[in-house]
Structure 1
Amino acid sequence: MNSLPLKLALLAGLGLTCAGALYAPPAAAQVSIGVGIGIAPPAPRFERVPPPRVGYVWAPGYWRWDGHRHVWAGGYWVRARPGYHYRPAYWVHGRGGWRFHQGYWGR
């Protein structure tokens, strides 16, 4: 009996097993860390929204906290996701101060 096909089959099976064990699909979960700050963000700046682009959604600008002060982050185009609606970034005032919530896609 020829043992070469048996060895190749075992080697292929071992290779597929190792590949399956090592494969890590991209993470679907999101991590969010929030820090409350005591300084309210300034009023939003006026931005002239550019003409629409097919397949994209405009994400308006927002004030971001750089650790010492609020800094304006200008708006930008985000690739559209069919079946989803883009929710822009925003600030919320609560007991711990002001909290920033990053823009996200919602249903």
Structure 2
Amino acid sequence: MTTLTRTLAAVAALGLAVGAASYTPPATAREYVSVTVSNRPPPPRFERVPPPRAGYVWAPGYWNWAGGRYVWVGGHWYAGRPGYVYRPPAWRPYGRGWRIERETWYRDPHWHR
């Protein structure tokens, strides 16, 4: 290989590496479906909350609307997210019915590194 060919190959490899390192995939579209239900959700079921686990957050069970009826979703563990607080789903009155606010993680305003 000649010096010019090696130089061009090195420049091309460097360009590919920089391009690959700076590439960010397009954001995934988030889909949100809102359902309003006319009848109040049943009272929460009793769940025995397991002992705390370091680095995890307990997400309590809740009633979900699926297939035209309420379906119980049992509690489970989520890996903790430093600087964020978990908010469980909750049913809220909405007009003449009920609407669920989905679970979410929100930024903790009191968290500092």
TM range (shorter): 0.7 to 0.9
Q: Deviations over 1:32-68 (max 9, x none)?
A: 2212122221111111111111111111100001131
Task: Look up the match of 1:52.
Answer: 52
What is residue 12 of structure 2 aligned with on the other side? 11
2:54 is paired with a residue whose SS is coil
Structure 2 CA distance for aligned equivalents of residues 66 and 3 of structure 1: 66
Give the alignment of 1:96-107 within 5 angstroms: 97-106=97-106, 107=108
Matches within 5 A, 1:24-35: 24=25, 27=27, 30-35=30-35
TM-score (normalizing by structure 1): 0.78
Identity of aligned pairs, percent? 45
What is the 5 A alignment of 1:84-95? 84-95=84-95
Question: What is the aligned length?
Answer: 106
| Letter in structure 2 aligned against 1:39 | N
User: Which structure 1 residue ranges, 5 or more long, are not aligned?
Assistant: none
- The alpha-carbon distance between structure 1 residues 81 and 2, as it changes in their structure 2 partners (threshold 3 A), is closer
